[in-house]
Structure 1
């Protein structure tokens, strides 16, 4: 079986222990590889005698007891109809847009799906019953709080432009958001520009904890910074001057605001 075009072969390591060889590709991290194979990062590091989280393109890793993920047995197909949106399909199958995006990595822009397009959806019957509003709010609040707490544990980490997403000693703005969201099961692209193109664009007045805010620090409308919304006057981000920190948005950041995006519901 080929995983993301990079699984080379299966082999056996010791009696009764199956393993696989995986070749690292651009954009990979130990976190993502461990999720794909349903093993822990520490197991991969031990298996390959790694002393840090740093991996490089072309590196061959041995993955013991690998169980690469597959959607084929747990999902069904849905053909997009006129008037459909990713959020309406999510409601139809009692799931979230974030889950649909994880099941359909071929969708690069969740706001652009076409009539006749076939997408993966969770197995099970559709229904009109949806969770009550308090349950939805509580679930989202729990996820948002977990994201903020994940980010806070890196407070003080210095800023480094182009920081590797495979390590947590330094960050740039988008490697920080990518890391924090991935620790809570949400996959983001690598750059602030790419991150601004996923999810649902919302008015700033409707922003909630855990949403992403995008800025143009050059005051030219071109996005080059991303932060995590905490409240109406506060964001959590990796800033060039202070590294990972909590910032007051009113003085410097709001005049440079471009858009707000919600990537989970």
Structure 2
């Protein structure tokens, strides 16, 4: 965790000036601060074809104002310039996403009986890394010390939700309450989790305990584990069985919803005629991907294709090989 420096303080204070405040409303969200990990373009728009204002260097800090889409953050630098950078963790890491509203106990465990490490002071910035229950946040302070604080808004103000782990939200600090995101939000979290691995190399039979390479089912499993906190079976056939057990599978891919899984048979050729007469109800699943909507699939299937990527479904092998699809939620 980066130390809280004077330049970082200036950055946070300047960001507060662009955050709206409403009289009588809850406190404004805490600034979300990111640290640049390696040199990255600071652009005029969320596109690689937009103008490059400059290059941010490793160690620079920015305030993240919003996540424009799965690939881009809108940020503000120390000079107050607002522009866009890649959201890939290769280039930027969130180091603070909450601030302390009033002095609060920083404890070793998620309990009022837990050893008090110290008191966090009003105005301190911290990184919320999880929420073990409705009453406690897991946080890391500016010196890298890990502990727990109350979720009560009396004590802590969270930054924008894109910076927080799935299911993390402020609570009363007294227990109770539902912290589970809606199904649509879980799907968006899952797709965002998958998109951050764009270009990760393909490897058949990839190690399920790492994210350096993926095969198709490992990629899908990782996206849902990170985005929806759901651990799917480790291979595509068992994932297919999982979806069937949920019911309401679709044999027409155009009937699928964003975030549904798509299952495919083995490749027999690029033409529709190569699949004529095949009883797809008896075919074995050999591939799986995530339907994005608008005729697109997010998946990985070969070294030559460049690893994790998207493809059009209509009129090609993916339409011809499609067996069925459905939701895991």
Q: TM-score, normalised by structure 2?
A: 0.38
Whichever structure has more strand as a proportion of its residues is 2
Task: Determine which structure has more spread, i.e. the larger CA radius of gyration.
Answer: 2
Q: TM-score, normalised by structure 1?
A: 0.47
Structure with the larger RCO, 1 or 2 (CA within 8 Å, 6+ apart): 1
Whichever structure has more helix as a proportion of its residues is 1
